[in-house]
Chains A and B, each alone.
Chain A
């Protein structure tokens, strides 16, 4: 049972190695990727149940004892995130069968997706700061290639920006790790958490923390550093964008939540206003720029930014309920966001365009599909009783508890604007009559493999909303483990 938590890393690795030998056959690729994604999801669920019942699972690679060896550790937060990445893996791999053009599928999409999932899972599971960097590199290299697959000019352009900014953030991360090691002499997260709590705050620690903050901020597209995201996310095919939107920025946020709850606990009077302000600005600017866009993918890209802001605000409150809200919102957002991109892919499949001005009349022609498209959009906007409502509610309640009136008001306002954008997509794409400009490929049928993941994720949005209580409890417990890392330290260091 010890090696259970290694499986989410090993399964995609094995899939990747296997698929390299079968690059010619699409059917084998599809079969193995979907199969391994489902297995991964089941294992993640098993890990979640085990962690929730029996506490944190720890494995030391190579059997070196804790602060020296490489630690793989799953606490509740990691386990929740693993389940999410499993879910996204399943839905994207099924969607890709018909949602992605044939030459992409032949051009090693599936093996690369396995690498990406391996990197993501590794980043969620690692208990070691340097390993976190290594996993980040694994996943961004996979994402570079995915982003530039196909090789159109816009993709090259987006890919180049994406690569440069990500490399800079990696280097900042690496320098921060070096400085952190210089001060504490350890890179194990549990050991760091312990040493940071024992030692007195110093200016150098704050500087290092700031470097980490900027590095993760670039990765998760926070306010001053978000420009790369809308510049590159709309260039690849929508299946790949959906995969990125579900996982890439969320790994950055995951790392940020982990670091700023467990390691950088000094200087609350510096971090709290900083995180709250940045989070607030991220929310507002993301949602306002989204309102001015007419390409569905661009609107959704800007919404990623706005919603990252919510999570940072939740983190910035530094209370158990705030962090719990952030975790719940993170889980909700991964599901709903990926789903809206998949929906955008279906719209494009039917109408042949992403431009809201050129499409319309979907409600009349495809009422059932429209219903399932409505759910993730409404979920994102926060219509009760869907999951987005409870995510925002948790954050707002936490904001009031922490007496942060201004930021809470901003959160409510931004929520209204999100609603506005979603209504815009709905009105333009579904209710408006089809404009006269008929586009080239007007397909009536939507293949089953494209609908299935959308329906699956939509149902999950509803379940997360209607039966919110167990999920809220779970994220509260996860947040509690983060804010009071005693259990984590004990599990890793065996003290």
Chain B
């Protein structure tokens, strides 16, 4: 996914550039999940009446991190799309290389 994302980033089209950003973001989220360690079939719930989790449970923190990262990524992609639209309006093209400054 990283490779695909980087490939798309290097394309001249802005639409593909934004798709590349999305892919990179998702790849990063998966990486966090993996780095945090996977525990299968053990949701991080605590039994009623006790303070500590009993037995081995999945670490909830990477999940929380990813949730935050997804939300932030969503906001950024919304902005990027808006920027692309303005870019298209002002320059009339989707191709970065055809646009020169001023």
Nearest CB on B from A357, distance (A): 17
Tell me whether B43 is interfacial, beta carbon within 8 Å: no
**Are A141 and B76 in contact, CB atoms less than 8 angstroms apart?**
yes
Q: Cα distance A156–B90 when bound, in Å? A: 8
Q: Which residues of B contact A157 (CB under 8 A)?
A: 87, 99, 101
Nearest CB on A from B7, distance (A): 13
Q: Given that A144-B79, A157-B99 are known contacts, is A174 also in contact with B32, CB under 8 Å in the complex?
A: yes
**Are A163 and B101 in contact, CB atoms less than 8 angstroms apart?**
no
Nearest CB on A from B72, distance (A): 5
**Are A175 and B32 in contact, CB atoms less than 8 angstroms apart?**
yes
How many chain A residues touch B (Cβ–Cβ < 8 Å)?
A: 30
Q: Which residues of B contact A153 (CB under 8 A)?
A: 90-91, 99, 101-102
**Are B61 and A160 in contact, CB atoms less than 8 angstroms apart?**
no
Tell me whether A152 is interfacial, beta carbon within 8 Å: yes
**Which single residue of chain A is at the shortest CB-CB distance from B75?**
A141
**Contact flags A140-167 to B (C-beta < 8 A → 1, else 0):** 0100110010011110111110011001
**Are A154 and B79 in contact, CB atoms less than 8 angstroms apart?**
no
Q: Given that A134-B68, A141-B75, A141-B76 are known contacts, is A148 also in contact with B35, CB under 8 Å in the complex?
A: no
Q: Cα distance A491–B97 when bound, in Å? A: 53
Q: Cα distance A14–B58 when bound, in Å? A: 38
B residues 53-83 in Cβ contact with A at 8 Å = 61-62, 65, 68-69, 72, 75-76, 79-80, 83
Q: Which residues of B contact A158 (CB under 8 A)?
A: 101
Name which of A88-96, A178-186, A324-332 contacts chain B: A178-186
Q: Given that A154-B101, A160-B14, A167-B76 are known contacts, is A181 also in contact with B36, CB under 8 Å in the complex?
A: yes
Q: Which residues of A contact B37 (CB under 8 A)?
A: 182
Q: Cα distance A145–B75 when bound, in Å? A: 12
**Which single residue of chain A is at the shortest CB-CB distance from B77?**
A167
Q: Cα distance A148–B91 when bound, in Å? A: 14
Q: Which residues of B contact A130 (CB under 8 A)?
A: 65, 68
Tell me whether A137 is interfacial, beta carbon within 8 Å: yes
Q: Cα distance A137–B86 when bound, in Å? A: 22
**Are B86 and A178 in contact, CB atoms less than 8 angstroms apart?**
no
Q: Cα distance A152–B99 when bound, in Å? A: 12
Nearest CB on A from B101, distance (A): 5
Q: Given that A163-B83, A171-B25, A177-B65 are known contacts, is A134 also in contact with B36, CB under 8 Å in the complex?
A: no
Q: List 5 A-B contacts (CB under 8 A).
A: A137-B72, A141-B75, A156-B83, A156-B99, A164-B17
Complex A-B, nearest 7 residue pairs according to Cβ-Cβ distance, in ascending order: A182-B35, A178-B32, A178-B35, A156-B87, A154-B102, A154-B101, A171-B28
Residues of A within 8 A of B (CB): 130, 134, 137, 141, 144-145, 148, 151-154, 156-160, 163-164, 167-168, 171, 174-175, 177-179, 181-183, 187
Residues of B within 8 A of A (CB): 9, 14, 17, 21, 24-25, 28, 31-37, 61-62, 65, 68-69, 72, 75-76, 79-80, 83, 86-87, 90-91, 96, 99, 101-102
Sample of 13 further A-B pairs with CB below 8 A, known A130-B65, A157-B99, A175-B31: A141-B75, A144-B79, A156-B99, A159-B83, A160-B14, A163-B83, A168-B9, A171-B24, A178-B35, A178-B62, A181-B62, A183-B35, A187-B61
